[in-house]
């Protein structure tokens, strides 16, 4: 029996690996994303089931305990609202990285000093990346949940300190590779990695969370790949490599979308509120009521909705769907312009709008959306701030200069729904709010859109 299982395991692992690759391919397109999720989950079920059939397992008692604990944590996480997907993703990275770090630690104490240099090198990389990802992900969760300050926390010499701590951790890892018997060095090695993870996230503001989350995804994946080399598990190597490479590619896409480098994201302290220069002209934004917005939308032929974090935090996506329905029934063409870094994680707006059953073909990426704005009668901005800031095009002194933005200001009328005039995550004022074709509608996005829908329904759209 054990011989048959031993022969079947490589085939099961191969099927699981193929499932992961296909899932990643299908997840890259909205119409096939659901299929990708199902196939990926099926592949993971195959992988876990095959692992439980390993003849080397002596007892299932502690495995059962781990399953129970994991289920008790996983089910409440799965029930978190869609608006909390960024926080949930950060926690998932933390748990995955913790598993890799704990497995690496256990393997070290079981096999040192007899462990070979290659295996020890993979183990050191696994523990280093896993440990720093644990604390970095927990810090990201704290910022996303607003348990910690969302603004960058910076001080003089911070980058030197951070890089010194990482350098010490890396040096300790090298020493352990050369001298695996130096067990006294292993706890400080882990401690330095954990500390670096905390300090890595402190100077990063909320505007950079999409990049940070995808980068932490890459770290967790690379840690899992290294664990595969330590355990001689080819499926772990494949899955970890897929996770790590996709996270890195996504991080590059995010940086390109913000016209920023990795170094600037990780060490730039981006997002500090900029003080207004002395003697600067005081500008006044024109405000309007939801009823005024309804009147403008009633006479429009083409409307482009720009969702942002304000829509997410207000959980306004279902009211937005109501607005979409009432406008389209009246013959208004409505599309949704999606900026790659809108919200707090890659694809945040897509997920929320999909939850509200907005048709996939109405979600338009930035480049295509920018071609639509000059023909749009109304651009309805729901809590999107920095990604609509015209200063990115014209103000060379702005911290977001050169960042690709949604050209909402080129629409005939811009309606901005926002709680207040406070700056976005970049910490700078938005000139859009003072343009002649812009009207500010202050309030919670869900309440404001609800009032607009009520006004439209009461009088008819045309």
Phi, psi (degrees; rounded to nearest 5) at 180: -60, -20
State the Cα–Cα distance between residues 20 and 154, nearest whole angstrom: 40
Kindly tell me the sign of the dihedral angle through the C-alpha atoms of 257, 260, 263, 269. negative
Location of structure tokens 């290294």: 226
Contact between 456 and 326 under an 8 Å Cβ cutoff? The reply is yes
How far is Cα of residue 93 from the mean position of the Cα atoms in its chain?
11
Please name the residues in contact with 369: beta carbons below 8 A apart, sequence gap of 6 or more. 304, 335, 337, 338, 406
Tokens of 252: 């590059």
How far is Cα of residue 424 from the mean position of the Cα atoms in its chain?
17
> What is the radius of gyration, based on Cα positions, of the chain?
25
User: Can 395 be counted among the known catalytic residues?
Assistant: no
Please name the residues in contact with 69: beta carbons below 8 A apart, sequence gap of 6 or more. none
Q: Where are the alpha helices (DSSP H) in 113-208?
A: 117-144, 158-178, 186-201
Phi, psi (degrees; rounded to nearest 5) at 216: -65, -35
Q: Which of 208, 232, 361, 386 is catalytic?
A: 386
State the Cα–Cα distance between residues 213 and 207, nearest whole angstrom: 11
User: What one-character DSSP code corresponds to residue 275?
Assistant: P
Contact between 230 and 104 under an 8 Å Cβ cutoff? The reply is yes
Query: Which residues are tagged catalytic?
Result: 386
């Amino acid at each position: 029996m054990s011989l048959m299982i031993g022969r079947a395991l490589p085939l099961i692992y191969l099927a699981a690996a193929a499932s992961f690759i296909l899932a990643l391919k299908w997840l890259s397109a909205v119409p096939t994303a659901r299929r990708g999720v199902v196939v990926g989950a099926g592949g993971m079920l195959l992988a876990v089931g095959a692992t439980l059939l390993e003849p080397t397992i002596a007892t299932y008692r502690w495995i059962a305990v781990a399953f129970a604990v994991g289920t008790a944590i996983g089910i409440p996480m799965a029930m978190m609202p869609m608006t909390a997907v960024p926080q949930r993703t950060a926690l998932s990275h933390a748990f995955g990285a913790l598993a890799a770090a704990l497995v690496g630690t256990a393997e070290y104490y079981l096999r040192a000093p007899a462990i070979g240099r290659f295996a020890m090198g993979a183990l050191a990389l696994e523990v280093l990346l896993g440990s720093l990802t644990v604390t970095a992900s927990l810090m990201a969760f704290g910022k996303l949940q607003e348990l910690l300050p969302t603004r960058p926390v910076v001080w003089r010499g911070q980058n030197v300190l951070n890089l010194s701590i990482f350098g010490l951790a890396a040096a300790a890892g090298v020493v352990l590779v050369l001298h695996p018997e130096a067990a006294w060095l292993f706890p400080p090695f882990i401690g330095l990695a954990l500390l670096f993870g905390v300090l890595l996230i402190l100077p990063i503001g909320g505007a950079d969370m999409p990049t940070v989350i995808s980068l932490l995804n890459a770290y967790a994946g690379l840690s899992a790949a290294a664990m595969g080399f330590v355990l001689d598990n080819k499926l772990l190597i494949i899955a970890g490599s897929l996770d790590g490479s996709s996270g890195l590619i996504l991080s590059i896409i995010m940086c390109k979308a913000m016209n920023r480098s990795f170094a600037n994201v990780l060490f730039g302290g981006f997002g500090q509120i900029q003080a207004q220069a002395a003697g600067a002209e005081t500008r006044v934004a024109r405000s309007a009521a939801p009823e005024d917005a309804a009147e403008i939308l009633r006479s429009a032929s083409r409307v482009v909705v720009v969702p942002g974090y304000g829509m997410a935090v207000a959980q306004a996506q279902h009211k937005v769907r109501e607005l979409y329905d009432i406008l389209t029934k009246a013959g208004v063409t409505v599309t949704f312009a999606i900026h790659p870094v809108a919200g707090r994680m890659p694809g945040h707006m897509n997920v929320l709008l999909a939850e509200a059953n907005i048709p996939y073909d109405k979600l338009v990426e930035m480049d295509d959306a920018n071609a639509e704005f000059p023909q749009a009668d109304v651009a309805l901005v729901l809590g999107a701030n920095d990604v609509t800031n015209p200063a990115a095009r014209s103000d060379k002194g702005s911290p977001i200069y050169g960042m690709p933005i949604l050209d909402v200001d080129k629409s005939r009328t811009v309606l901005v729904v926002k709680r207040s005039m406070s700056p976005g995550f970049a910490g700078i004022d938005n000139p859009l709010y003072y343009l002649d074709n812009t009207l500010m509608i202050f309030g919670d996005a869900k309440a404001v859109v609800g009032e607009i829908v009520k006004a439209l329904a009461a009088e008819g759209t045309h």
